[in-house]
Structure 1
């Protein structure tokens, strides 16, 4: 975190940037210590130790959304006594143990089983640390995405809605062709708050929130105007994440890995290609752009990321999660495919 960013934060906020596959750390100190998002399952122990060393026992983890890089430490922190809060939409699905929870199986991104103790609704006030934050529903990147607004200090935790350099990808296959427009509308809603400090889940704290919103709105509008480009953007981000958490893939196996992925099949359908053709094109385009590199016979993501042990990925997909207390097995998957 830059000195300028640190100067803009109250003493009761600790923020630390982390590379993928984790989300940044946002810790709110006080009588009810709270952590916003909990990173990837492969680094759950490190996340829990970091939070405990700075705030003692964490009372609540608030998830901006349920992707694996935001909920991976939930189970460990719950085992240490923390509650978990998430949007009502995510909470219902997690409570039912829907097979599509967290898109873990769909994206092939493991998530350890957890429960949601506090469903959150738009406009709700939430005591985090010693201050009240307002829940702001911001669907788009996921249908259940939320942000957190602290009006006195004008702090805005934005999750994956935007960063200093980009916006979150949208899933047109699962969430429908309107997902990009929904994400753009959410950005406009956040920009209207005129925050003093943006706290993104990835990348640094932007020096100029207004400029960051301007860039994000332009980028989001491009995803609305170019649906094929939005599909490609999502495919590249998902595949890069797969390479990060697996220490790359053997070059000869990369396309076979992609052929087995549901998200790749959906992207191919939307782009009018076969999965085999899209897999080959995706690998080639990422190599040509520098998003992936060949090293020692393996295809690696070139973006900065923290290694993950293979053993830490061995957690069950949600369809095999134990039932949450007071729930019954799911009757059907929650995923809706759009043809």
Structure 2
């Protein structure tokens, strides 16, 4: 097993070599060439046999299409909740339109059904439902070595944006339930969707629960955090953008307009975005230069 730790625009990939080589999560589409190069460098002449996606956010499955083009016989399996949407490719329902992100269409061959197992690296990995960050997400757990592939349900210092909350659905409780599941599984090592592999699971759970409590006490704080995450994601993709281009993207991105209308309706889009940008610049996540906003 090789963990491919990626930058924040792409999720980490977990690559299992052997006669039935498999890759868990494939990164964002703009890094598809890098994904292919990393997989080929690790596998050599061996073909990639399987792709598994923990969930279908664009930074986790955006490389699927490129990998399928490189290895046309590769078997691709996703969490079952959105399988029908992939089969008919409904980009709106899959969330790519709402987030203003891209994901090339890919083929679906099977599902990762919670309560079953999948063979990876010659060992059986349990598949567990992990709603919260995404209602359809799954975790993969290997009980002998107590290895957990947590995707965006648990990072070393938090977890992913709780996207159902942006749609007005109550999902903070599901985040808490997934954290309880992880605690019951008692992993010794966690391979997160973003950031380094870590072993202080108790510390990560404590940090995640503190973050969750803060968001539950102030949904507006979570909403503003989500808006900055979406903006930063696009800035990572663009690397630089002028103010007019940024406002065009905000106007065309339903989540961004929805967040402003729900949590700061008195502000114009321009003023609201200016505040978000100022906060990103203040923490070094972005910088202004020559009239453009640059990735920090």
- TM-score normalised per structure 1: 0.80
How far the C-alpha of 1:133 sits from its partner, in A, is 0.8
Moved more, 232-241 or 276-285: 276-285
- Asked whether 1:238 is paired with 2:230, we answer yes
After TM superposition, the structure 1 = structure 2 runs for residues 35-184 of structure 1, keeping only pairs within 5 Å, are: 35-55=23-43, 56-79=46-69, 80=71, 81-172=73-164, 175-184=167-176
Task: Note closer, same or farther for the CA distance 1:231–1:114 as it changes in structure 2 (3 Å cut).
Answer: same
How far the C-alpha of 1:173 sits from its partner, in A, is 5.2
How far the C-alpha of 1:156 sits from its partner, in A, is 0.2
Which protein, 1 or 2, shows the higher relative CO under an 8 Å CA cutoff with sep ≥ 6? 1
Please give the alpha-carbon distance, in whole angstroms, between the structure 2 residues aligned to 1:53 and 1:76.
16
Contact 2:130 2:139 in 1 (8 A): yes
How far the C-alpha of 1:251 sits from its partner, in A, is 3.5
**3-state DSSP class of the match of 1:192?**
helix
Could you list the structure 1 runs, at least 4 aligned residues long, displaced by more than 3 angstroms after superposition.
Answer: 172-177
Please give the alpha-carbon distance, in whole angstroms, between the structure 2 residues aligned to 1:275 and 1:141.
28
Task: Note closer, same or farther for the CA distance 1:223–1:173 as it changes in structure 2 (3 Å cut).
Answer: closer
Match of 1:29 among 17, 42, 54: 17
**3-state DSSP class of the match of 1:133?**
strand
Please give the alpha-carbon distance, in whole angstroms, between the structure 1 residues aligned to 2:31 and 2:19.
26
Please give the alpha-carbon distance, in whole angstroms, between the structure 2 residues aligned to 1:253 and 1:229.
26
Moved more, 192-201 or 117-126: 117-126
**3-state DSSP class of the match of 1:114?**
coil
Contact 2:161 2:226 in 1 (8 A): yes
Please give the alpha-carbon distance, in whole angstroms, between the structure 2 residues aligned to 1:269 and 1:215.
30
How far the C-alpha of 1:104 sits from its partner, in A, is 1.5
- Asked whether 1:221 is paired with 2:209, we answer no
Please give the alpha-carbon distance, in whole angstroms, between the structure 1 residues aligned to 2:217 and 2:26.
33
Match of 2:294 among 287, 294, 300: 300
Please give the alpha-carbon distance, in whole angstroms, between the structure 2 residues aligned to 1:275 and 1:160.
32
- Offset from partner CA, 1:269-289 (integer Å, 9 cap, x none): 220424514223222222233
How far the C-alpha of 1:101 sits from its partner, in A, is 4.7
Moved more, 61-70 or 280-289: 280-289
Contact 1:153 1:196 in 2 (8 A): yes
Please give the alpha-carbon distance, in whole angstroms, between the structure 1 residues aligned to 2:145 and 2:165.
38
How far the C-alpha of 1:68 sits from its partner, in A, is 1.1
The aligned residue for residue 6 of structure 2 is 18
The aligned residue for residue 276 of structure 2 is 282
Moved more, 89-98 or 255-264: 255-264
Contact 2:134 2:164 in 1 (8 A): no
Moved more, 260-269 or 197-206: 260-269
**3-state DSSP class of the match of 2:37?**
helix
Once superposed, what is the RMSD of the aligned Cα atoms? 1.8
- Offset from partner CA, 1:296-322 (integer Å, 9 cap, x none): 3221232xxxxxxxxxxxxxxxxxxxx
**3-state DSSP class of the match of 2:10?**
coil
Task: Note closer, same or farther for the CA distance 1:46–1:131 as it changes in structure 2 (3 Å cut).
Answer: same
How far the C-alpha of 1:135 sits from its partner, in A, is 0.8
Query: How many residues were matched structurally?
Result: 290
